[in-house]
């Protein structure tokens, strides 16, 4: 038996049991390399459809395809050993009905090896959440600002600024939680509403642009590392890797132009010839 003990991966019931306990740490990852970095620190890794924008340069998440999500999901699962890996179901892969949602969710799980899927929508998606959960597919819900519905919202707008909207958002969160979601992402929701929802639902809430009172937090990795050119108000940059990388690339370019790289230590020489 190998001396190296394989880490036990966090499960959906583990996350569910964290309601009201130690805050859940979640981050996005889209690659093997970043998954390796995130894995030892995060409880949950989300392969978000935000990869359409961050990795592929698209204007919104709507361009993410099932094939994209599976490709990146495979890489993240290979690069992680401990964190729960959740893969977003992209726009158009689950809205048409529960049967289609199940086929696509099952394909994502089977081909990536992830432990759960995430889908957006509240009351209108409760039946789908229940259908998937009853068939062994753990689901994370996502309410409030749902980027796949950005066209309907008229842009990335904070939800709940008007008190009249609170009841609808509260119903959405309650509906997906009661339908079987083991956690619910609250995005772009005003703080007092996020606090109220967190107190009301029986499953953990994971905030992004919501409240510190949520049961956990998630950010896009590239945003919090300072790799994105601009970030929303709710993001705190915990690093400035963009500037560090730019300086390193500039130093490399200068070394190449000056022929100081590669140096003697960076090149290979033929084996010495043995002469009598």
Handedness of CA 70, 75, 76, 80 (dihedral sign): positive
Between β-strands 84-88 and 44-47, what pairing exists: parallel, antiparallel or unpaired?
parallel
Between the CA of residue 46 and those of 5, 158, 159, what are the distances in Å?
Answer: 25, 22, 22
Return the residue matching tokens 């998954």.
35
118 marked as part of a ligand binding site: yes
50 marked as part of a ligand binding site: yes
Between the CA of residue 91 and those of 65, 101, 102, what are the distances in Å?
Answer: 8, 11, 14
Confirm if 104 and 93 have CB atoms less than 8 A apart.
yes
59 marked as part of a ligand binding site: no
74 marked as part of a ligand binding site: no
How many whole angstroms separate alpha carbon 76 and alpha carbon 42? 13
Which 3 state secondary structure label does DSSP give 222? helix
| Residue 88: strand pairing partners | 118
88 marked as part of a ligand binding site: yes
How many whole angstroms separate alpha carbon 249 and alpha carbon 241? 12
Known catalytic residues? 187
How many whole angstroms separate alpha carbon 126 and alpha carbon 207? 20
Residue from 227, 195, 221 nearest 45 by CA: 221
Residues of each annotated binding site: 49-50, 88, 118, 120
Residues tagged in the binding site annotation for 3-methyl-2-oxobutanoate:
49-50, 88, 118
Residues of each annotated binding site for Mg(2+) = 49, 88, 120
């Amino acid at each position: 038996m190998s001396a190296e003990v394989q880490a036990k991966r966090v499960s959906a019931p583990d996350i569910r049991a964290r309601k009201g306990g130690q805050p859940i740490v979640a981050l996005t990852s889209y690659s093997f390399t970043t998954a390796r970095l995130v894995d030892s620190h995060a409880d949950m890794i989300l392969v978000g459809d935000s990869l359409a924008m961050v990795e592929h340069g698209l204007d919104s998440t709507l361009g993410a395809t099932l094939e994209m999500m599976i490709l990146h999901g495979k890489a993240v699962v290979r690069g992680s050993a401990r964190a729960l890996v959740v893969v977003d179901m992209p726009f158009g892969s689950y809205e048409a009905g529960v049967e289609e949602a199940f086929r696509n969710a099952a394909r994502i799980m089977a081909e990536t090896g992830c432990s759960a899927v995430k889908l957006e929508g509240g009351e209108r998606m409760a039946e789908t959440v229940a259908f998937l959960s009853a068939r062994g597919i753990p689901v994370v819900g996502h309410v409030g600002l749902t980027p796949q519905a950005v066209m309907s919202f008229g842009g990335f707008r904070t939800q709940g600024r008007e008190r009249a909207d609170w009841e609808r958002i509260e119903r959405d969160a309650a509906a997906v939680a009661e339908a079987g979601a083991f956690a619910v992402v609250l995005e772009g929701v005003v703080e007092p509403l996020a606090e109220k929802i967190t107190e009301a639902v029986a499953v953990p809430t994971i905030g992004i642009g919501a409240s510190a009172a949520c049961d956990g937090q998630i950010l896009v990795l590239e945003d919090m590392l300072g790799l994105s050119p601009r970030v929303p108000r709710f993001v705190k940059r915990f690093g400035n890797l963009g500037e560090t990388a730019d300086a390193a690339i500039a130093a490399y370019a200068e070394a190449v132009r000056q022929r100081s790289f590669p140096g003697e230590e960076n090149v290979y020489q033929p084996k010495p010839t043995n002469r009598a």
